[in-house]
A and B are shown apart, each in its own frame.
Chain A
Amino acid sequence: MTEHFPVLQVVVPLLAAAACVLLRNRFAARVLAIAVAWTCLCIALHMLSTVLSTGEPISYMLGGWEAPYGIEYRIDVVNAWVLVIVSMIPSVVLPFGSGSEGLDLHPDKQYLYYAALLLCLTGLLGMTATGDAFNVFVFLEISSLSMYTLIAMADSRRAFRAAYSYLIQGTIGGTFFLIGLGLLYQSTGTLNMADLAVRLQLVWESRTVHVAFAFIVVGLGIKLALFPLHQWLPDAYTYAPPRVSAFVAATATKVGIYVLVRFLFTIFGVVFVFEVLEIQVLLVPLSIAGMFVGSFAAINQSSVKRLLAYSSIAQIGYMTLGISMGNVSGLAGGLVHLFNHALTKGGLFLVVACVVARLNTDRLDDWAGLGRKMPWTMAALVVGGLSLIGIPGTVGLVSKWYLVLGAFERGWPIIAVLIMLSSLLAGVYVWRVLEVVYFRPRPADAPDVEEVPLSMLIPTWILIGGTIVFGIGAEWPSTVALQAAQSLLGVGP
């Protein structure tokens, strides 16, 4: 049984998605989806602990075909870590509330929401688990297509437009990635990642490989919303149903970053990427620009969801910055930020979902005085906001600590200063929200609200509580991330 875990991780949600459609019952579909999400989480945790204890990657041959010919699923510390992050989020988001607030779906059609979400989870887990480059493309499209439909399930026509423009840009990104794969296959004759890494050593001088590299990085850049390829992200996160925003914001871009890391470090190799092509010359300015443009844009938003969406662009900047440092501390900072940002942003979008369930608005002005009306929800907002800034005691500090450390090790003190400056900007936009919520009185004609039920508070606080738990006891995520970074860079512990 346990030897089939790498593939069960992907097959279970895939079959469950089909079962949801056959069940045609929203209660049954919901129970099934929650059970599957927790199963995936348990499998991912089991694989992570196995990989951590043995130190050897788990290799699984699909259908028993040998590696370079058949499709291989290869789980090492890095993707076991990402699998845990990706399966953790739906395990919390799916039980949230009654399961369907904010969806523009007739109750008889709500099983389709669970089917789409499980398909999206399949795609994201598959992209992470696979050791075959073309398989990444297939799962990328599975996750993207189901994400477009999830976004379009919101109760507004703007959501259709957001989903449409995401579809256009996402498909261009996916196709660019496909072109890059074609060029790689042309120059090496293999699609297995480990095999590609070996054979690329012989042909890395070829122009074809350089072009392939460019196509792959740009294609993935669109998928992970690297500045300035982030145009789809603000609308998609703003107009999607709040619970979908929570799921997508916490998982989709993270997997995009994982795939980028896999291609840069495992397939193309550190020497080629950082010494021959010098990608840091491109990636560092873009990451810094993303951090500042995202934060400045977030300061000026009147919608809380859009504010969080722009803040995501800034946070993605931190992750790509960590990657582009190319040293253990920086890369570990980027990888631990994957986890921290998934917790923080997932939690914050669930806070928005709580308020939207009560007030049906995410306009900041309408949130005035909510601090007294919904004390627990707003307390979650405070903690999540502090974690975005990187206050000690929250996970936000842990990742920034490693990033600053990495910048100094690399001999880039200016970058360390810029990281702190952009944290100040995060402070400004978080403060704007808190000021409205706590210090502005609730208008006299505003509708009366009360605290949301426990079924919403508990999931929100699991994620938000995680930012404190792992912020104080930071050893677990940072040891795993450090180990992952060491294995990617090929240096001993």
Chain B
Amino acid sequence: MSSFAGHWVYWLSIALMMIGLYAVISRDNLVKKLMGLNIFQVSVIMFYVALGKIIGGTPPILGPGAEGFAYFSNPLPHVLMLTAIVVGVATTAVGLALVVRIREAYGTAEEDQIVQMDRDEALAAERSRRVRR
């Protein structure tokens, strides 16, 4: 139990990760899929941030007033996550731009309808080709 409770941060990020992945897989709406992807990425960011934190740890800064502190939080994972956040924002921006183009071209952002439209289009093209012969 203690190891379970002691690792609650990790359980939290695993829960978020699964929620995000489930949304990506199960939703038909393309924007909701992207939101799922965002939740998935955020779970990893939380995981990294938790890595660097120690209870009672201080920022690793030397100088007056820093005497007497023995534990430091590692700032490196937090810095790495700044990059990951930028990547996440860029991915979302590109993804949403693509959804806008898909919506313009198909008139809908629901994946099942889009799949159906593509299938109808392919069938119609095949039929017209047969008629020509």
A positions within 8 Å CB-CB of B = 134, 137-138, 141, 145, 148-149, 152, 157-158, 160-161, 163-164, 167-168, 171-172, 174-175, 178-179, 182, 185-186, 365
Contact = CB atoms under 8 A, between A and B. Distances in A.
Contact of B99 (A148, A164, A178): A164
Given A141-B90, A161-B118, A171-B91, A182 B102 contact: no
Contact of B87 (A138, A152, A172, A365): A138
A155 B83 CA distance: 33
Give the 10 A-B CB pairs with smallest separation, nearest first.
Answer: A157-B105, A141-B87, A164-B98, A160-B102, A160-B101, A182-B48, A167-B95, A171-B91, A186-B51, A148-B94
Contacts of A160: 98, 101-102, 105
A163 B96 CA distance: 12
Given A138-B83, A182-B48, A148 B98 contact: yes
B51 A185 contact: yes
Given A172-B21, A185-B77, A164 B105 contact: no
A182 B98 contact: no
Interface residues of B, number: 31
Contacts of A179: 44, 47
Interface of B: 21, 24, 30, 33-34, 37, 40-41, 44, 47-48, 51, 76-77, 80, 83-84, 87, 90-91, 94-95, 98-99, 101-102, 105-106, 114, 118, 129
A369 B30 CA distance: 42
Given A145-B90, A161-B118, A167-B98, A172 B30 contact: no
Given A158-B118, A160-B98, A182-B77, 11 more contacts: A137-B87, A138-B83, A141-B87, A141-B90, A145-B90, A157-B106, A167-B94, A167-B95, A182-B47, A182-B51, A185-B51
A134 B105 contact: no
A172 B114 contact: no
B21 A161 contact: no
Contacts of B30: 164
15 contacts: A134-B80, A138-B83, A141-B90, A145-B90, A148-B94, A157-B102, A164-B99, A171-B37, A171-B91, A172-B21, A172-B24, A172-B40, A174-B87, A179-B47, A186-B51
B44 A178 contact: yes
A138 B84 CA distance: 8
Contacts of B129: 365
Nearest to B38: A171
Question: B-side binding surface: helix, strand, loop or mixed?
Answer: helix
B101 A152 contact: yes
Contacts of B21: 172
Contacts of A152: 98, 101
Contacts of B80: 134
Contacts of A141: 87, 90-91
B48 to A, nearest CB: 5
A137 B86 CA distance: 12
A161 B37 contact: no
A179 B106 CA distance: 35
A168 B24 contact: yes
Given A138-B83, A152-B101, A160-B102, A145 B94 contact: yes
Contacts of A172: 21, 24, 37, 40
A89 B67 CA distance: 57
Contacts of A168: 24, 33-34, 37, 95
Contacts of B87: 137-138, 141, 174
A41 to B, nearest CB: 28
A80 to B, nearest CB: 26
A175 B48 contact: no
Contacts of B83: 134, 138
B118 A175 contact: no
A160 B129 CA distance: 25
B43 to A, nearest CB: 9
Contacts of A171: 37, 41, 91
Nearest to B41: A175
A365 B133 CA distance: 12
A168 B91 CA distance: 9
A113 to B, nearest CB: 15
A8 B98 CA distance: 32
Contacts of B48: 182
Nearest to A152: B98
A413 B33 CA distance: 46
Contacts of B76: 185
Q: Which residue, of A134, A145, A158, A182, has the highest number of chain B Cβ atoms within 10 A?
A: A182
B114 to A, nearest CB: 7
